[in-house]
C-alpha cells in the first residue's frame, strides 16, 4: 500500500490540521493502537465504551506518522493530523477510494448462514487460476471489511469479500465500499431476526448488497431458499443454484465418502463430478455458488477441479477429529442458527461410525422474542432424525429440550450451564461415540471440545 496524504485528505473529505515533515506516503492503516505499523495512519474509532482518540498519543512510537481525528484539539504535534466529521465513515470512504485503484474482480458474499464456508470455497475454486485475496477470520463488518481491502496489493488478481450484518443499512455500507462485480446471497434464515423483525426484513437487508453491485454485475442466489426464490425482475443479471433442477446450477447424486462429499453438478455449460473435503449437503450448495462464479469468469474444468481440491475446512467449522479415546468429535462451534444447526445434525446422522450419534447443542443468540420457538424447532428436528443422545446446554437450550419432548423424544439430558454438563460428561460419553458440538460463538463451546479428549 502507498497512499499520498493529500489523496487521503480528499478521500475522507477531511481538513489537514497538522502537517509536520514526516513524509507524504502512508504504507499501513490500522484502527488498533497496539499494532506496530510502518509509515502508518491511525484511525481512532469511537464506541459506547471506548474512544480511540485516547490512544493517539501512543501511536507515534508504533510507527504511525499520521492520524485521523474528530477532535479540534491536537493530541500529538509529531503526527500529521487530519480532521474528519466521523472516523467510522472516513474508514469506509478511504477503503472505497483504495479499492477503486484495483481493476480486479471483486466477489461479495452475504447470507444468514454459510457466508464463511461459501467465501472459502469460492476463494479456493478461483485459486485454480488466480492469486486470491480474501476476508480472513471474522473481518466482515464495517471495521473488518475496510481493513481487508487495505491489504490488497499488486499481486492480488481477485478479491473474495465476506459481508456480515445485524442491522439495516450495514450491508449497504459494506457493498458500497467493496463495490463487487459479483454478489452472492447464500440464504435468508433467522439469524439476527431480533434486530430485523422478520425473515422478510432479513431478505430486505440482504438485498442491500445490490446497492454497490456494478451495473453489469452478476447476482448469484440460492434458488432453493423459500424467500430468495421469490426475488424477481432485478436490474442485474441473476443466476440461481440449488439441488432443484429448475436452478441454473444444480446437483444430485450427493454421497459421502469418508471425509469427502461427492456429487454430480450440472451447469448451463457443463457437467462436473465434484469431490470436496467437507461433509454435508450444505457444502454442495456452497460449491454450486463457487462453480457459477468460476464459469462466469471463464475458468475451465481443470482450473475449477484443481481449485476445489485445495479447499480445507476452517477452524471450528465442522472440523472432524478422531481422538485417541476412539471418540469422533465434530467441532462446529464457531456459530449457530436454526438452519446451521439442522445442517450440522444432518452431517452427524449421515457420518459413518460404529458408536452412538451424540448432539451437544447450546444457545443460539440474537433470536429475540423468537428464541423459544426457534430453539424448539431444533429440538423437534433432532427427534425427527432420531439422534441417539441429545444434550442441550445453556439457558435458551431448555427450549431445545422442550421441542425434543414435544416431538415424542424421551431420554434427554439438559444442563443449564457448561459447568454442570462438564461435571457429568464422563458419565454420558462412551467410547466410539460420534459427538457434534454446536452453539453460538458467545457460548464458547470450544472449551467443551477441549475437555472431551480427556474422557477416559
The full set of domains in the chain, from first to last, is 3-90 (3.40.1390.10), 102-309 (3.40.1190.10), 319-452 (3.90.190.20)
**Residue 456 pLDDT grade (very low, low, confident, very high; cuts 50, 70, 90):** low
Residue 309 has pLDDT above 90, yes or no: yes
Mean pLDDT of the chain: 94
pLDDT-above-90 percentage for the chain: 84
Determine whether 6 is exposed, middle or buried from the number of CB atoms within 10 Å of its CB (0-12, 13-18, 19+): exposed
Distance in angstroms (rounded) separating the CA atoms of residues 111 and 221: 10
Mean pLDDT on 50-54: 95
pLDDT of the residue at 318? 87
**Residue 267 pLDDT grade (very low, low, confident, very high; cuts 50, 70, 90):** very high
| 171 backbone dihedrals φ, ψ, rounded to 5° | -65, -35
What are the pLDDT digits (tens) for 106-118? 999 999 988 999 9
pLDDT of the residue at 24? 81
Mean pLDDT on 261-275: 95
What are the pLDDT digits (tens) for 162-175? 999 989 999 999 99
Residue 22 has pLDDT above 70, yes or no: no
Residue 313 has pLDDT above 70, yes or no: yes
Distance in angstroms (rounded) separating the CA atoms of residues 141 and 162: 8
What cell does 72 get? 479540534
**Residue 337 pLDDT grade (very low, low, confident, very high; cuts 50, 70, 90):** very high
Buried b (16+ CB within 10 A) or exposed e, 36-72: ebebbbbbbbeeeeeebbebbeebbebbbbbbbbbee
3-state SS string over the chain? CCEEHHHHHHHCCCEEEECCCCCCEECEEECCCCCCCCCEEECCCECCCCEHHHHHHHHHHHCEEEEEECCCCCCCCCCEEEECCCHHHHHHHHHHHHHCCCCCCEEEEECCCCHHHHHHHHHHHHCCCCCEEECCCCCCCCCHHHHHHHCCCCCCCEEEEECCCCCCCHHHHHHHHHCCCEEEECCCCCCCHHHHCCHHHHHHHHHHHHHCCCCCCEEEEECCCCCHHHCCCCCCEEEEEECCCCCCEEEEEEEEECCEEEEEEECCCCEEEEEECCCCHHHHHHHHHHHHHHHHCCCCHHHHHHHHHCCCCCCCCCEEEECCCCCEEEECCCCCCHHHHHHHHHHHHHCCCCCCEEEEEECCCCCHHHHHHHHHHHHHHHHHCCCCEEEEECCCCHHHHHHHHHCCCCCCCCECCHHHHHHHHHHHCCCCCEEEEECCHHHCCHHHHHHHCCCC
pLDDT-above-70 percentage for the chain: 99
pLDDT of the residue at 194? 86
**Residue 204 pLDDT grade (very low, low, confident, very high; cuts 50, 70, 90):** very high
pLDDT of the residue at 21? 66
Determine whether 86 is exposed, middle or buried from the number of CB atoms within 10 Å of its CB (0-12, 13-18, 19+): middle
Determine whether 205 is exposed, middle or buried from the number of CB atoms within 10 Å of its CB (0-12, 13-18, 19+): buried
Distance in angstroms (rounded) separating the CA atoms of residues 147 and 10: 19
Least confident of 224-233, 390-399, 447-456: 447-456
What cell does 161 get? 469479500
Beta-strand pair 40-42/25-26: unpaired
pTM for the predicted model, two decimal places: 0.89
Mean pLDDT on 50-79: 95
Mean pLDDT on 203-222: 96
Amino acid at each position: 500500500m502507498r497512499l499520498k496524504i493529500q489523496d487521503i485528505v480528499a478521500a475522507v473529505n477531511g481538513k489537514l490540521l497538522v502537517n509536520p515533515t514526516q513524509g507524504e506516503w502512508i504504507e499501513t492503516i490500522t484502527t488498533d493502537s497496539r499494532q506496530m505499523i510502518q509509515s502508518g495512519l491511525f484511525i481512532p474509532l469511537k464506541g459506547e465504551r471506548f474512544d480511540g482518540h485516547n490512544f493517539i498519543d501512543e501511536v507515534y512510537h508504533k510507527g504511525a506518522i499520521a492520524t485521523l481525528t474528530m477532535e479540534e484539539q491536537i493530541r500529538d504535534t509529531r503526527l500529521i493530523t487530519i480532521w474528519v466529521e466521523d472516523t467510522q465513515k472516513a474508514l469506509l470512504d478511504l477503503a472505497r477510494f483504495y479499492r477503486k485503484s484495483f481493476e480486479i474482480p471483486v466477489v461479495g458474499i452475504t447470507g444468514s448462514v454459510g457466508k464463511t464456508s461459501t467465501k472459502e470455497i469460492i476463494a479456493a475454486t478461483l485459486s485454480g487460476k488466480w492469486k486470491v485475496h480474501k476476508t480472513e477470520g471474522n473481518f466482515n463488518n464495517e471495521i473488518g471489511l475496510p481493513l481487508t481491502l487495505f491489504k490488497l496489493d499488486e499481486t492480488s488478481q481477485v478479491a473474495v469479500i465476506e459481508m456480515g450484518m445485524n442491522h439495516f443499512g450495514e450491508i449497504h455500507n459494506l457493498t458500497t465500499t467493496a463495490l463487487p462485480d459479483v454478489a452472492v446471497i447464500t440464504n435468508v434464515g433467522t439469524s439476527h431476526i431480533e434486530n430485523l423483525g422478520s425473515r422478510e426484513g432479513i431478505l430486505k437487508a440482504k438485498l442491500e448488497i445490490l446497492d454497490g453491485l456494478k451495473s453489469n454485475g452478476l447476482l448469484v442466489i440460492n434458488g432453493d431458499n423459500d424467500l430468495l426464490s421469490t426475488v424477481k425482475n432485478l436490474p442485474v443479471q441473476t443466476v440461481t443454484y440449488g439441488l432443484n433442477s429448475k436452478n441454473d446450477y444444480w446437483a444430485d447424486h450427493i454421497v459421502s465418502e469418508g471425509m469427502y462429499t461427492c456429487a454430480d453438478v450440472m451447469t448451463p455449460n457443463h457437467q462436473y463430478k465434484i469431490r470436496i473435503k467437507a461433509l454435508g449437503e450444505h457444502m454442495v450448495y456452497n460449491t454450486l455458488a463457487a462453480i457459477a462464479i468460476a464459469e462466469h469468469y471463464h475458468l475451465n474444468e481443470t482450473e475449477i477441479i484443481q481449485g476445489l481440491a485445495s479447499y480445507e475446512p476452517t477452524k471450528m467449522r465442522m472440523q472432524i477429529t478422531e481422538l485417541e479415546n476412539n471418540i469422533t468429535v465434530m467441532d462446529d462451534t464457531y456459530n449457530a442458527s436454526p438452519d446451521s444447526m439442522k445442517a450440522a445434525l444432518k452431517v452427524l446422522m449421515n457420518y459413518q461410525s460404529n458408536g452412538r450419534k451424540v448432539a451437544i447443542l447450546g444457545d443460539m443468540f440474537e433470536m429475540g422474542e423468537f428464541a423459544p420457538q426457534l430453539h424448539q424447532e431444533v429440538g423437534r428436528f433432532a427427534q425427527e432424525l432420531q439422534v441417539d443422545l441429545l444434550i442441550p446446554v445453556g439457558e435458551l437450550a431448555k427450549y431445545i429440550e422442550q421441542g425434543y419432548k414435544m416431538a415424542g423424544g424421551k431420554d434427554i439430558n439438559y444442563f443449564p450451564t457448561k459447568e454442570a454438563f462438564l461435571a457429568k460428561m464422563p458419565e454420558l460419553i462412551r467410547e466410539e461415540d460420534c459427538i457434534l458440538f454446536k452453539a453460538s460463538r458467545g457460548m464458547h463451546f470450544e472449551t467443551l471440545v477441549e475437555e472431551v479428549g480427556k474422557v477416559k
